[in-house]
Structures are given as C-alpha cells and as structure tokens.
Structure 1
Amino acid sequence: MKKIFYLFLTIFLLISSLKAAGESGGNAFDLLSGARQMALSSVFIAKADDVNSLIYNPAGLSNLNRYGIGLTYDNNIEDIKNAIVTFVAPTQIGCFGVAFAYSTIGNFNNSAIDEEISVYDIVSIIGYGYKIASNINLGGNVKYLNSKLGSYYAWSIAFDLGVLYEINNDFNLGFVAQNIGTSLKYDIEETQLPIKIGIGVNYSGVKLQQHRFNIGSDFKYNIIDKDFITGIGLEYIYNDLIAVRSGYSYEKDSINSFTFGIGAKIKMYELILKFDYAFVPKIWESSNMSTTHMLTLILEF
C-alpha cells in the first residue's frame, strides 16, 4: 500500500507541474457517466463494480467476471445530449473495456454571421484492469477526444490511472488520476484538459437479510481550474433486484444539490439485464435551476 501511495504522490507532483492559468477545456470527459453513478452524485471511485468502472476507476474492471454492454442516454442541461456505449470483456490476463460517447448541443444559428453552427464531441476510450494482489487492483485508460466547434476542429489524447484497494470484503479505497494528456487547440486558441485527481471510500457492510446498503464518498481536485468537488452517495438494494439511490455533491459555481435514482435487475437464465434511471436537479449560484435525466441499460452475459 505504501508503494501505491508514493506512486500517486509522484503522479500528483508531475501533473501539478502541467497546470497553467485559465480554465480547462475538454468538458466532454466530465459528461461521461452512467445513470447509477449519476444518481449517487458520481461517487464511484471506490465502488467501481460495473461496466462504467471504465469511466470512474478502470482498476475496478479487474473485479468484473461477466461480459457486459452498457447503453446510456443523457438529456442534460442547456439542451446538451449525450449517448454512451460501453463494453467490457474479462479474460485470464485481466479485464479489457472500450467506450464510445457522442455529445452535442445540436445545430444553432449564429445571427451575427448568418450561419448555422454545429457543435459536438466524440470520445473513444480503451481501458484495462488487472488484479496485482488479492486485494489490490490497478487500471488505466487511453482516451481520444475529437471536438467540433463550428468550422473549427480539435483533438486530444489523454490517460487515466486508477487503484482500488480492498481493505476487507466491505470496505474499499480508490485512487484516480484522470485526463492527463495533450491540450485542445481550436485554430489559435488552446486549452488544457481538466486534469483531476481523486480519492474515494466505500462501505457495504450494512446487510440485514434481504436489505443491503452501500455508502461512499469521493473527494476530487481539478488541478487546472483549482476546483474541489466533494460528494456522498447512498444506495439501498432490496433482494439484489431493486435499488434506490441518492447523493449529494458540491463544487464551485454549481451546487448540484441532491441527486436521485432507481435501479432494477432482471435475471433471465444466464443473462442479467439492469435498468438505471437518474434525476439530477441543479441549482446554480444565480439561484437558477435546471434538471438532468439519464437512462442506462446494461446487459451482462
């Protein structure tokens, strides 16, 4: 565990040296999620136990023992729409994962130049998780972002690193470093990616017959924007079939307030179908309110 701590301390010092003044770009990476995770206020670094571990902590991939396909649709704020497809494949040499995401605000007219503007982001991810010891998992991602803003195009390559440390069967610690990569450059304007480091804890030891609870908390820091993001998530599961979720998160310039969601699992022979829904009311510092609805379907086989 000490070696892992020093590894992440070194990573933190290295990526801290990359920071520059101004705000980060590449916000398409921040929009990646699943409905279960969104309902938990994106608290998932130390839980990381489904196909969307690829997004939050690729080290969690190594604990998956079934093939899985995830489909997510997100009707976000300001008419932003996101679609995400995720696939994971466990093997004897670790678990591999891939994801593709498309984010757009559609086309709109720029009255100043009488031209229709198209804006979208396409994200591709390849990830891998491996169990280096009975209770220590490592993982990493390579991510490619292709972005279009009107007549301008930009691209970037980034990397994620993750560790999942299982203290016992009920208590996990997670560590991640995300979006370490090249800057986005539209014509002459260049912005850095939202480089983040995060630590999470999760406890799942509350079990009463058919009732089970998971509670977790994440603490993240955006090195470029110098923003802290904190959150707590609670998941109640009945008979391993029905789930009710809620969370709370806070970050500068946006009070995400409480998040809510439900989930259901259907078992059919060797197949498992999961349905997740999240509702996120966002209250901004200006007191304006907006809402996000997200749906995820996961097939495990």
Structure 2
Amino acid sequence: MKQIKLVLIALILMISLSSVFAEDNSAAVYQLLGIDARSNGMGGTGTAFLDNVSSAYLNPAVLADVKTIEFTSGTRQNMAWDRNHNAVALGFVLPIGYVAASWQNATVCDIPGYDVNGNPTGDFSNSDNTIALSFAAKISKLNLGITPKFYLSNQDNDSDTGYGLDLGFLYHINRYFNVGMVARDLIASYPGEEDDIPIEFIPGVAAYPIPGLIIAADLSGRDNFKDSKLRLGVEYWLGVRDDAEVGSSLSGIRIRESTTWSDIISKVQAGIRAGVNDGAFTAGAGLRFKMLELNYAFQMAHDEYLNDTHSVSLLLRF
C-alpha cells in the first residue's frame, strides 16, 4: 500500500508541474518526436518501462533489462511542411551490461530559397541527424545508463556539428512498479544555435497491475521545466498468461514464450494502446512474435497548423 501511495503522489506531482509551466523552445525539436511506435501510441511514455533497444532514445538505463541482440527501425508519416522523421537502433548484450548504437534523421524538403534582394534562388533541404552510443548496466534493482551523442546538421550544402550527453536511471520497486528518470543534453551544443540546447528532464512511473497491462506516465520538462509536457499511456497485450516467461525478471512487461521456428507465426500476441501526449490523443496497436514485433501509432495534431501523424516501427530480436 505504501508503494502504491508513492506512485500516486508521483503522478499528482507530474500533473501539477505540467499545469504550472508552459514555454516553447524549438532547439533540436525533432528529438521530442520519439522513435518507437509502441511508445508513441502510449502518449510518448517509456521512461520507466520500454525494455527494448528503442530505450537508447527514451531512457538508456532501461537497456539493462534487454536480454537479446535487437534491431529496430521506425518512421513517422504525414508530417506538415514536407517533414520526414526516421530512426534506427541496434543493441548487443555485453558481460557487463548492454550497448546500443542509434541514429535519428529529421528532414525538411522543398524549402524556398531567396537571396539578399528577395529574389528566388530555388528550393533546398535541411537535414538534422543524431548519432548516439548508449550503455547501460544493472546494480541489483537499479539500472544506470549513459548516451553520448553527435549532432550533424546539413543545410543547403553547408554542414555543422554538435554534441550532447544523456543520463538515465531506472529503479524496479517490485514486479508491479518502476520509477525512472532521464536527463537529456546535460552537456550539449547544437549546430547553428548560439546557446546550448536546453536540458530536458523526464521523470516517469509505470505500473503492471495484471499480466499484459501497463499504465505509464512521463513528465517532460525542458529548460528547468519552463516548458513541460505531461504524457500518459495505457497498453494491454492479449494472450499474455500468468505462466509466460518474463524477459525482465523485475519489470513484468517483456513477455516471451518458448517457441520454435515452426510455430513463430502461429503463436502471436496482439497489443492495443492509447494515451495523451501534451493534450493530443494517441492510439496504437501491435503484433508480437518470438523474434519480431510490429507496432503502429496514430497521434492527433497538437494544433491547427500541424497534421495528424502515423508512425510505424519494426523490432527484431536475435
């Protein structure tokens, strides 16, 4: 009961902070989009539960719960102003922890160009990239993670570089509750920005009341929570049983059953999810096999100037 009260208090604090602060900061804004459709369908949550290689972006500490070599690829479609967002990540188990390499790309195409006199010079494109290497290790119930990042920006044949550093932790209270925190860009310099990229702190909680059900909440706060966004999500996997093998012995979410190659297709789990990301409704679904997982997410536009978006991600386990 005491642990349940602590989680409820954390949720109340997140909601309170979210209602107090509101200020926009657009530096490296593509990093706020998320690279995993499962997370996107749950309102962008994942700081305290998403134990797959996508956590290289969400919270590197969670990588310590990953048990296999994993590869993921994700894309977001129907973005406004000819924007594109894509990402890939590959992770390996080490004797002392888990390591993952990831790449994000955000591109804006067909930008009208003009000279100093206002004469058209033709269209050009802008491309921003984040290349990162994450490492996570487990100490009893505590996971620790670190992600150094390299930024590369290309605009109209001009290039610029920068850097960043993320730190995260995850604590398994028991098999029913996790709490986590990630601090993004604690040390950072972004291409083309006069000032350092703002630090983003994201505390999160996750609960697993019954097998297959996850309830999660994250509070994203940039620049000392002057710009904060509350994210809430829920997910349920059909076909998860009490006797299923749990990939993470503490988190209770990563489910795998003993199967052979011949029955991979026949033994499938289906997941449904919904959430709210800073007031925007999200929803999604997924199919999970022993070595493959495919997820889809829909996110409603935050305002009239943006589009409703669709994201898809593929996860392979080896």
Task: Name the TM-score class by shorter chain.
Answer: 0.7 to 0.9
Structure 1 residues 184-217: Cα deviation after superposition (integer angstroms, max 9, x where no partner): 343xx6243131011100001223xxxx210011
Q: Give the SS at the match of 1:38.
A: helix
Distance of aligned partners of 1:147 and 1:88 in 2 relative to their CA distance in 1, 3 Å threshold: same
Following TM superposition, by how much is the alpha carbon of 1:29 offset from its aligned partner in structure 2, in angstroms? Answer: 2.2
Aligned-residue offset at 1:109: 2.8
Mapped to 2, the partners of 1:22 and 1:276 lie a distance apart of 30
1:11-30 alignment, distance < 5 Å: 23-30=25-32
Give the corresponding residue for 2:276.
248
Deviation for aligned residue 1:151: 4.9
Correspondence for 1:58 = 60
Q: Which residue of 1 aligns with 2:80?
A: 77
Name the counterpart of 1:47.
49
Q: Which residue of 2 aligns with 1:12?
A: none
Residues 1:37 and 1:175: Cα distance change in structure 2 (over 3 Å): same
Q: In 2 relative to 1, CA 290–22 (structure 1 residues): closer, same or farther, beyond 3 Å? A: closer
SS in 2 for 1:182: strand
- Measured on the aligned residues, the alpha-carbon RMSD in Å equals 2.0
What residue number does 2:179 align with? Answer: 173
1:224: how far off?
6.5
Q: 1:185 to 1:213 in 2, by over 3 A?
A: closer
Quote the residue 2:264 is aligned against: none
The AA in structure 1 aligned to 2:316 is L
After superposition, the Cα gap between the structure-2 partners of 1:156 and 1:225, relative to the gap in structure 1 and judged at 3 Å, is farther
The answer as to whether partners of 2:35 and 2:86 remain within 8 angstroms in 1 is no
Match of 1:115 in 2: 122
1:22/1:43 Cα in 2 relative to 1: closer, same or farther (>3 Å)?
closer
1:194-251 deviations in whole A, cap 9, x for unaligned?
31011100001223xxxx210011112101782011111000110141000111122x
Q: Deviations over 1:79-104 (max 9, x none)?
A: 21112111111121100001112211
Shift of 1:26: 1.9
Match of 1:233 in 2: 233
Matched, 1:260 2:283: yes
CA distance in 2, matches of 1:225, 1:169: 30
| TM-score (normalizing by structure 1) | 0.82
* Aligned 1:67-216 pairs, distance under 5 A: 67-75=69-77, 76-111=79-114, 112=118, 113-133=120-140, 135-186=141-192, 190-207=194-211, 212-216=212-216
Letter of the 1:122 partner, please give it: N
Look up the SS of the partner of 1:282 in the other structure: coil
Aligned length: 263
Segments of 5+ residues of structure 2 without an aligned counterpart are: 1-22, 241-268
Q: Secondary structure, in 3 states, of the residue corresponding to 2:308? A: strand
Runs of 4+, deviation exceeding 4 Å: none
Q: CA separation in 2, counterparts of 1:146 and 1:32?
A: 18
- Runs of 5+ in structure 1 lacking a partner? 1-20
CA deviation digits over 1:240-294, x for unaligned, max 9? 41000111122xxxx4x21011000123xxxx1100001111131xx45521111
Q: How far is 1:78 from its partner?
A: 2.8
Name the structure where strand makes up a greater proportion of residues. Answer: 1
Q: How does 1:1-16 map to 2 (within 5 A)?
A: none
| Separation in 2, partners of 1:239, 1:169 | 19
Cα distance, 1:22 vs structure 2: 9.0
Identity of aligned residues (%): 26
Residue 115 of structure 1 deviates from its aligned partner by 2.9
Post-superposition Cα deviations, 1:1-48, rounded to whole Å, max 9, x if no partner, equal: xxxxxxxxxxxxxxxxxxxx9945122322342111111111111113
User: CA, structure 1 residues 276+185, in 2 after alignment: closer, same or farther (shift >3 Å)?
Assistant: closer
Q: Which residue of 1 aligns with 2:260?
A: none
Letter in 1 for 2:174: N
Check 1:266–1:290 CA distance in 2 against 1; reply closer, same or farther (3 A cut).
same
Per-residue CA distance 1:36-81 (angstroms, 9 max, x = gap): 1111111111113111111111111111111100011111333211
* Contact 1:280-1:292 within 8 A present in 2 as well: yes
| C-alpha spacing 1:23/1:260, structure 2 compared with 1 (3 Å) | closer
Give the Cα–Cα distance (whole angstroms) in 2 for the partners of residues 98 and 185 of structure 1.
21
